[in-house]
Structure 1
Amino acid sequence: MRLFLALGEELHFGRAAARLHISQPTLSRQIQDLERRLGVPLFSRDSRSVTLTDAGRALVDEARATVEAMDRLRVSAGQWARTLSAHVVVGTVGAEAAMPYTHAILEHLRTVHPALTVEIRTLSFAEHLVRLLSGDIDVAFLRPPVPAGVELLELATEPRIACLAADDPLTRRPTLSLADLGERVFVDVPPEVPRVWWDFWAVDPRPDGRRVRYGPVVSDMEGLLHTVASGQGICFLPAAARELFPRPGVRYVDVMDLSPTVSALGWPTGHRDRPAVRAVREAATAAMSAARWKQRPPL
């Protein structure tokens, strides 16, 4: 079904094979086998072109639904496998894996559930909410806001700061305002990122009602920092970035009217009582009762 959909989109055996990372003869054999099994031709081929037959066009939606259903089945099976094997998958984005509350919660989790294996996955900010909502990970240490369908336990708060190219004249000032940055281009994120999340980080719209001008699209922290260092855009980051992401060509500056950011543990709303999720939630609640990280600023 995946091969059929890819060829139906590309309408070219060479391009479809390259996209699927298989050889062209292998793709051709698989499509022929699928046509034999279904009993209808899916493509018309000649020396110059590939086109979908009427039957092929009629079956595209069914094939896509089949692939999506299998993806959901795989995710659900993975969730149950983790439950049965006492395994939990914890996602982290940005520098969350290095933060004191993350260490405290995971330490408490391992103490209370020594038989539970904990898998840490570092996620790009382009994928972390998608992976969480799909159930591919059980819980995530992240930064709100989040879209509908995700529940949160807030852990800590810290300021946000501006991240600018080192040669930007504004870096000579000790403190900036959002108005000072109003004309600067802001880095953007891929369309799969919920816009509510990036609108918060870009402060879009600004307090005076102006909309943000966006520039290059980035998917992860290193790409973001490289884009800023090359002068193609600016961004706002948690204050911990000063220590955790020092990079040549980048400077961090305080912004006096920039609202703070919250750190949180998140999980899909419908999964809150699954054993793996409940174990991490309870560990977080217990670790927060000590709240040792709240007596001092984050790193």
Structure 2
Amino acid sequence: MDERAVPAEALASFAVFAEHLNFTRAAAQLRISQPALHVKIRKLAQALGRPLYHRSGRRLVLTVDGEAVARFARAHDERLADFLAEFAGVVPGRPVVLAAGQGAYLYLLGDTIRAVLAEETTRLRLINCDHRQMLAAVRTGQAHLGVGVLDVLPDDLTAVELATFPQVLFVPAAHRLARRRTVTLPDLAGERLVVPPRHRPHRVRLEQALRAADVDWSVAVEAEGWPLITQFVVLGVGPAIVNGCVPAPPGLVARPVTGLPAVTYHVVHQPSALSDPRVTGLLDRIRPPAAARARRG
């Protein structure tokens, strides 16, 4: 393959497309038309001889080769930015990018983020996303580190365990199950539970466990995110099973649920990421506070 057939401009455009996976938004950021962006990406795929994305239902999804190209394009941009900064005699100001979900930001990473931003506000950029988007961000080079709960550890990324928590039942202090030291799945028979929306990983695992235990239950309300789920329990809508890192607000008690696996948060990164001292520095900052929080939980 002639490297001249893969211009840097096409790689830069593909990196933007890979971040949005939406031609309208990517073209707007690049300030070009959608047809022009389509042409750039089509020609790039032709030059490389591999499809770079495909459609899955209503979503566009990068292929494995597309993830590799996006990762290379971003690394190329970073190296060029570093060179130009050094050439101009200034310190490179690129931030470390961290991708994580709501639960990790609220209950696991807050102390680290506050400390890092207090030192230098340009050192850290945050992406809020679900675990699927987090893995995609790390694979494509959009994020240097990602934190989340993983059902299966990725074999193409390095995964480091941060903290493990039991699953607990939130109930009002006057609830019949509040008197128990621990709760079993059969104890939930007949309960109307506050749960995440369908197809969310926590909801899927919970339904599977209750079905295996032959527990008859129903949905009180579906809610997105631990804060809203907790608020519905406070309002008396129904009990909820949450990750043990979520603190119980006044009026609620948390009871460990036997028969449910513990929940483990991992930080993931590209195997080559540790060659960057900025990444290793942030990773070292994340791990001690997370481990301490797990012990307190």
Tell me which interval the TM-score lies in, with the shorter structure as reference length.
0.5 to 0.7
Q: CA–CA distance in 2 between the matches of 1:94 and 1:236?
A: 17
2:295 aligned residue: 297
Equivalent pairs counted in the alignment come to 224
Q: CA–CA distance in 1 between the matches of 2:216 and 2:153?
A: 21
Cα distance change, pair 253–222 in 1 and its aligned pair in 2 (3 A): same
Report the Cα offset of residue 79 of structure 1.
Answer: 7.6
Report the Cα offset of residue 91 of structure 1.
Answer: 3.0
1:157–1:263 contact (8 Å) kept in structure 2: yes
Report the Cα offset of residue 132 of structure 1.
Answer: 1.1
Deviations 1:121-165 (A, max 9, x none): 4x4xxx422431442544332223258677531122232211124
Deviations 1:157-198 (A, max 9, x none): 2322111244432223333222111332333334563x4x43
**Greater relative contact order structure (CA < 8 Å, 6+ sep):** 1
2:234 aligned residue: 229
Cα distance change, pair 258–79 in 1 and its aligned pair in 2 (3 A): same
2:22 aligned residue: none
Q: Percent identity?
A: 13
Q: CA–CA distance in 1 between the matches of 2:226 and 2:95?
A: 28
1:143–1:262 contact (8 Å) kept in structure 2: yes
Q: CA–CA distance in 2 between the matches of 1:186 and 1:292?
A: 29
2:126 aligned residue: 120
Deviations 1:3-33 (A, max 9, x none): xxxxxxxxxxxxxxxxxxxxxxxxxxxxxxx
Q: CA–CA distance in 1 between the matches of 2:105 and 2:178?
A: 29
SS in 1 for 2:296: coil
2:148 aligned residue: 142
Normalised TM-score (structure 1)? 0.52
1:175 aligned residue: 182
Instruction: Please tell me whether Structure 1 or Structure 2 has the larger radius of gyration of its CA atoms.
Output: 1
Deviations 1:70-91 (A, max 9, x none): 9x99x87778666745222213
Cα distance change, pair 266–277 in 1 and its aligned pair in 2 (3 A): farther
Structure 1 unaligned segments of length 5 or more: list them.
1-33, 35-61
User: Is 2:165 aligned against 1:158?
Assistant: yes
Deviations 1:15-73 (A, max 9, x none): xxxxxxxxxxxxxxxxxxx9xxxxxxxxxxxxxxxxxxxxxxxxxxx9999x9499x99
Letter in 2 for 1:230: L
**CA RMSD across the alignment:** 5.0
Letter in 2 for 1:88: V
1:96 aligned residue: 104
1:101–1:155 contact (8 Å) kept in structure 2: no
Cα distance change, pair 103–280 in 1 and its aligned pair in 2 (3 A): farther
Q: CA–CA distance in 2 between the matches of 1:227 and 1:98?
A: 18
1:152–1:264 contact (8 Å) kept in structure 2: yes
Normalised TM-score (structure 2)? 0.52
Letter in 2 for 1:246: P
User: Is 2:198 aligned against 1:199?
Assistant: no
2:225 aligned residue: 220
1:91–1:120 contact (8 Å) kept in structure 2: yes
Deviates more, 1:271-280 or 1:161-170: 271-280
Letter in 2 for 1:199: V
Q: CA–CA distance in 1 between the matches of 2:250 and 2:259?
A: 25
Structure 2 unaligned segments of length 5 or more: list them.
1-33, 35-53, 82-92
Cα distance change, pair 105–266 in 1 and its aligned pair in 2 (3 A): farther
